[in-house]
Structure 1
Amino acid sequence: MKNTNTVWWSCQKYRSFNGLISFWSILIIIHFTTCNPVGENLSISSGDTARLSYAERFSIVHYDTTAVLTVMDEQRQVVQQYRTSTYPNSCRGVSACFQIPVQNTVAMTTPYLAIIDALGEAGAVRAVSSIMSLYNATLTHLNENGKIITLGSTKNLDQEQLVALGPDALFIPYTRTALELHDKLIELSIPVLSITSHKETHPLGKAEWLKFFGVLFNRTPEADSIFRGIEDDYLQTKQRYQGQHNKPKVMAGYARRGSWIAPGGKSYFARLLEDAGADYVFAENGDSGNITLSFERAHELGQQADYLFFISMGPVKWELIRAREPLINDWQSVTQGKVFSNDGSINAQGGNDYWGKGFLAPHVILKDLAMALSPNTIHPDSLVYFRKPI
């Protein structure tokens, strides 16, 4: 038997029959509820499936006192399934089962912290990977008072400190590096949740992960309400700008060592550009992640674009970029000053909020893009996550 994640499920159902069911009957029950190969979806016949409008990387099935959370990869293959329970101690000693609400958590990336904070549960976070994740005064204050500690990245995680912390949930991205760490954490009895929110290709799909976290923190009504507000705002902006006839041509990405890295045509950012009324130069590309091309090829496309959106993990040093890649100075967008970078909100710790709070603000990012592409309508100074570096 390969998976013991659901023994508790049957135990709850049959607990009242303790003196009546034989030892062998119990073994049969356990067999049929636990012999499920890792990666296969468990077949559970009843329950209320939560409605998801945009997210494609998770599902939620609600029961009276429990829920089943399923996490999927980009091929919609099951990565892991998690159980939640409101019964005291029902998850003790059972892997992939979480007593809700979780109260002692570790958020290994800023987007998870942003979601937890939005749900009003920042006080349940005990550790983060880096101080750069602390994007507001409340979180910084918690860190300064020892309420939130830093553990390092997935490559250099302080496992000893993590074990001493004893969290009841650790949120970690489903990446190659994190997978190498995952099994080790399970061996250390750290309850891990692998998250694939970064694999979502729709901006609202990323934000809809609010509902996943809402279950774990017992904040489903709040999660639904926050998401509806984000969705309504996003769709209103999309309706206003997407239908314009003269769509400006847009180049996007960043230069690195003689290459140009750009969001693929089916990516999160490509969808934002489409909804903002832009004609993305890589719109016909079928990749949902980044694509890499030579700077010479990027130069050909860049010369034709009306706008350039420079995407960076940290602060953009535009003069350095122009010095390293002088051809970029000939681009139409550069000569006309129609260049924008996604470092308009750098927090006090030096982190780029576009990759943190921006995860939950696709409606704000969409407005930024729409305003940048319509400079005669709204002044660029009102942008939040983007700015004009030149």
Structure 2
Amino acid sequence: MSPRRLLEIYLHFRSIILISFIGVTACAPSSSDDKPNNYKTAGDAAAFPHKVQAEYAEGFRISYHQNYKLLEILKPFQDKVDTIRYSLVQKELEENINVNNTYEIAIPVQSMIATSVTHIALTDMLKANDILAGVTGGEYVYNRKVRQRIRRGATADLPGGELNMEKVLELNPDLLMISGGQSSELDKYRVLMDAGIDLVVNAEWLETTPLGKAEWVKVLAALLNKEELANRKFEEVARRYHSLKDTVNAGGNKPLVINNMPYKGTWFVPGGGSFTARYLKDAGAAYPWSDSAESGGLRKAFEAVYEQGLKADIWLNPGSAKTREAITARDERFRDFKPFRRGEIYHNYRRSSESGANDYWEKGVVRPDVVLADLIKIFHPGTLPDHELYFYQQVK
């Protein structure tokens, strides 16, 4: 079923179904940083004093109008480029505003279910973890405050995999945030949309630059009326990222870097147009497949990467292997690699847990400046003498 048809069904049911919202867990008074934007209403109009705009992200666009915000997800799914349009309307004006060909969402959102740990990174950056009515796969959550909420029952832990629709209906959040995969996935959420639960597609994972991924915090900010805080937080990250990038791009040595680990004889490496390759470039490294335009993974024969491993200077993220012994247990030929002989192997498991949580895939999404600092420290140790590795650590 097409997104347009789902929109028609959703708007039809929204007009005839009475929605009862769950109460939001009480919390301590917010600091000035935590407060949503102040807005003024005049009749049926709302004025938004603070605005966000996408500068690096290519997957969304936000515009501001007299009485609503228009959020457009430009490529919500991997298999389609059809734009999904959302009209974000202040709760007290909801009955008076109708924007054609949009999904209407009442703002500010006060409760949300996150279906990816990257969504938790957004709420944490905006000091809004209290809106998390539920998360999927709680064992993979690294954030300490959110884990505490799960333990005391303030945030429900929904099993990973197929979303438990009955549990979501029971929690009755304002919003369900999903990660766009295939467009057919929208059909799975029809019952929730018919019940008045708003759904937003977060396509951050399709971005090809680190700052583009991090900028999706502005999408949640628009939903929470926290644009001022998002602008300030993101600008701090972007400014530091560019400053770090400038420290290594003036020239000089560029160590050769390989990454990942083969699986059943095939070695998948990031394409030259991927966000991983962008990190390597910005951190001042040479990458064997930097000329590839692919933004996804490249399928390489073992021998093709083995040839590069013999002369590479550094090996990043060797699969799940956390020790040198675990690496050679996979294949004794890895002993031939120059990074293995020199001990220049690093993985991003420093902030991880036994349950499988890894902060690199959580906080790292909104703090690309810290990831970049780690990589520069690894590639050019003398450039950042005071920086201690945060997400990465050396394989011993």
TM-score, with length taken from structure 1: 0.82
Corresponding residue of 2:89: 85
Asked if 1:362 corresponds to 2:368, the answer is: yes
Determine the structure 1 residue equivalent to 2:126: 119
Q: Which amino acid aligns with 2:89?
A: S
Aligned position for 2:287: 280
The answer to whether residue 371 in structure 2 is matched with residue 385 in structure 1 is no
How far apart in 2 are the matches of 1:184 and 1:329?
54
Question: Contact conserved, 1:315 with 1:343, CA < 8 A, in 2?
Answer: no
Deviation at 1:319? 2.3
Q: How far does residue 145 in structure 1 lie from its aligned partner after superposition?
A: 1.1
State the one-letter code of the partner of 1:292.
R
Whole-Å separation in 1 of the counterparts to 2:209 and 2:69:
25
**Offset at 1:64?**
3.0
SS in 2 for 1:256: coil
* Cα deviation 1:126-153 (Å, max 9, x = unaligned): 1111123432331121111101111122
Q: Which residue of 2 aligns with 1:28?
A: none
Spell out the pairing of 1:169-188 with structure 2 (5 A cutoff).
Answer: 169-176=175-182, 178-179=185-186, 181-188=188-195
* Counterpart selection for 2:215 from 208, 221, 227: 208
What residue identity is the alignment partner of 1:331?
Answer: F
Alpha-carbon shift at residue 293 of structure 1 (Å): 1.3
Which consecutive unaligned segments of at least 5 residues does structure 2 have? 16-49
1:258 maps to 265
Shift of 1:311: 5.7
CA distance in 1, matches of 2:335, 2:185: 39
Q: Which residue of 1 aligns with 2:104?
A: 97
| Alpha carbons of structure 1 residues 85 and 253: separation in structure 2 relative to 1, 3 Å | same
Which runs of 5 or more structure 1 residues have no equivalent in the other structure?
A: 12-47
Q: List per-residue Cα deviations over 1:33-81 (Å, max 9, x = no partner).
A: xxxxxxxxxxxxxxx9953221000000112331011112279933411
Partners in 1 of 2:150 and 2:80 — Cα distance?
37
Q: Matched residue of 1:280: which SS?
A: coil
Q: Distance in 2 between matches of 1:295 and 1:359?
A: 30
Q: Which stretch of the first structure deviates more once superposed, 164-173 or 80-89?
A: 80-89
User: How far off is 1:211 after superposition?
Assistant: 1.0
User: CA RMSD, aligned part only?
Assistant: 2.9
Runs in 1 of length 4+ with deviation above 6 angstroms?
Answer: 5-8, 91-95
| Separation (CA, whole Å) in 1 of partners of 2:192 and 2:91 | 25
Write the distance in 1 (CA, Å) between the matches of 2:130 and 2:321.
29
Matching residue within 117, 122, 130 for 1:110: 117
Cα separation, partners in 2 of 1:89 and 1:147, compared to 1, 3 Å: farther
* Closer/same/farther in 2, CA of residues 300 and 5 from structure 1, 3 Å limit: same
- C-alpha deviations, 1:227-281, integer Å up to 9, x for none? 0000011000000012232211111122222221211111001001100111111
Q: CA deviation at 1:92?
A: 11
For 1:324-335, list aligned pairs within 5 A. Answer: 324-335=330-341
Deviations 1:70-125 (A, max 9, x none): 11227993341111111427169998211111011001101111111111110000
Letter in 2 for 1:353: D
Contact 2:254 2:285 survives alignment (8 Å): yes
Matched, 1:195 2:199: no
The equivalent position to 1:65 in structure 2, one of 67, 73, 78, is: 67
TM-score normalized with structure 2 length: 0.81
Residue type of the partner of 1:296?
E
Q: Who is 1:52 aligned against?
A: 54
Give deviations 1:180-226, integer Å, cap 9, x for gaps. 53445434543211111000011101111111110001100001100
Partner of 1:41: none
Show the counterpart of 2:277: 270
Amino acid in structure 1 at the alignment position of 2:325: E
Q: Which has the higher contact order (CA 8 A, sep 6+)?
A: 2
